[in-house]
Amino acid sequence: MASKGIQGEHPSVTLFRQYLRIRTVHPEPDYAGAVAFLEEQAQQLGLGCQKVEVAPGRVVTVLTWPGTNPKLSSLLLNSHTDVVPVFKEHWSHDPFEAFKDAEGYIYARGTQDMKSVGIQYLEAVRRLKAEGHHFPRTIHMTFVPDEEVGGHQGMELFVKRPEFRALKAGFALDEGLASPTDAFTVFYSERSPWWVQIQSTGNPGHGSRFIEDTAAEKLHKVVSSILAFREKEQQRLQSNPRLSEGAVTSVNLTKLEGGVAYNVVPATMSASFDFRVAPDVDLKAFEEQLHRWCQEAGKGVTLNWIQRWENPQITSTDDSNPWWAAFSRVCKDMKLTLEPKIFPAATDSRYIRATGVPALGFSPMNHTPVLLHDHDERLHEDVFLRGIDIYMRLIPALASVPALPSDS
């Protein structure tokens, strides 16, 4: 273990807190500060550092530890540098101070989502290098922007670039979720975000009259159909203890818009929905169902797409997948209980899996309440440090997976 750092604090914890203080918070993240911090780490660790600007001001930073056999595909350790906004008045401590209380809890935006994981990768690599290790496969740590706003100016663009192809990724680790129990969750797929706006047009008129065929009536029909579907999926989840949240399709009505005055019947109204579609759903049939609900509501009801992911991929979690075999073997040796699940929301893993690279979402935080995007997001320093130990076992195993047919 490294020597104690500031005021008896473990130096890995000190570094973690330093990273948390960089205000990479939307809507104006300090990405330059994060990149400078990562460049400094690369220099200290003797790692290659490549900066790929995928969009103006949106840089993917790649830290590379070359393997002994460059012919083999590489291990990709991905994390995002950005964090979601905060409501400071609801926090016990400044969310960018990285305050540590007497019990060892570190309060800051990004402690769980997901600056902890980025530093755990770095610190595991630091220790493995210090111990003189070398592995057959090259290890790339990618630090990407804009995941919290959909990855459209981050990983989505990066995977299309020659710099990504040049990494020759064979397998990737990305973010998971904290787990309040003794078990560790690991995610092998995720639901597809479908954001739709239903627009309804109808007859306008005076608010005192029974006007036929109004926009509101027709919109009400669509909303009722979609919320009835929501109820059905919720019942399916609650009635089957074997199903996790990610295995069913969720939907929420997130926006209602329309109207100009209390006494004017509006000609147009709209409702916006956030669907998260389970990976086993027939997407074509589901899209047809959405259009059918619109048609059943009447003429002048249309569907507009805001976002639609159509390439859900599932990473195999049986021993036919050598990457899973290596990952799960380490966890078994460390006596870690794994709960494989479908991620309920969306991460950058979907872009990685869509290129044909298998990926697992894993954040080694058990006995920890799920507080991502919440007020008082926090992580105990012991849980954080244990995560480094876990990666110190996972990284060697994954970077030493023997040559595969896909490597040639």
pLDDT, tens digit, 9 for 90 and up, residues 169-228: 999 999 999 999 999 999 999 999 999 999 999 999 999 999 999 999 999 999 999 999
164, 158 contact by CB (below 8 A):
yes
Compute the residue count for the chain: 408
Q: What is the largest CA-CA distance in the chain?
A: 82
Q: Can you give the pLDDT at residue 1? A: 37
Q: What is the pTM of this model?
A: 0.93
Matching residue, tokens 């630091």: 126
147 assigned to active site: yes
Q: Can you give the pLDDT at residue 335? A: 98
Q: Can you give the pLDDT at residue 8? A: 85
- Which residues fall within 8 angstroms of residue 60, CB to CB, at 6 or more apart? 51, 52, 54, 142, 143, 144, 145, 154, 155, 158, 163
* Crossing angle of the two packed helices 283-297 and 215-239, in degrees rounded to 10: 140
Cis peptide before 279 (omega within 30 of 0): no
192-308 to CATH, choices 3.90.1300.10, 3.30.70.360, 3.40.50.10490, 3.20.20.70: 3.30.70.360
- Cα–Cα distance for residue pair 140/168, rounded to 1 Å: 10
pLDDT along the chain (408 residues), means of 10: 64 98 98 98 98 98 98 98 97 98 97 98 98 98 97 98 98 98 97 97 97 98 98 98 96 98 98 97 98 98 96 95 98 98 95 98 97 96 98 98 92
Which listed residue (82, 113, 148, 348) is catalytic?
A: 82
82 assigned to active site: yes
Which listed residue (113, 123, 146, 147) is catalytic?
A: 147
Q: Domain coordinates of the chain in residue numbers?
A: 6-190+313-407, 192-308
Residue 16: what residue type? F
Q: Can you give the pLDDT at residue 3? A: 41
In 10 A of CB 143, how many CB atoms? 25
**CATH fourth-level superfamily of 6-190+313-407:** Zn peptidases (3.40.630.10)
276, 347 contact by CB (below 8 A):
no
- Cα–Cα distance for residue pair 140/160, rounded to 1 Å: 17
- Which residues fall within 8 angstroms of residue 259, CB to CB, at 6 or more apart? 266, 269
198, 222 contact by CB (below 8 A):
yes
Q: Can you give the pLDDT at residue 81? A: 98
The tokens for 332 are: 């078994």
Q: Can you give the pLDDT at residue 408? A: 76
SS3 185: strand
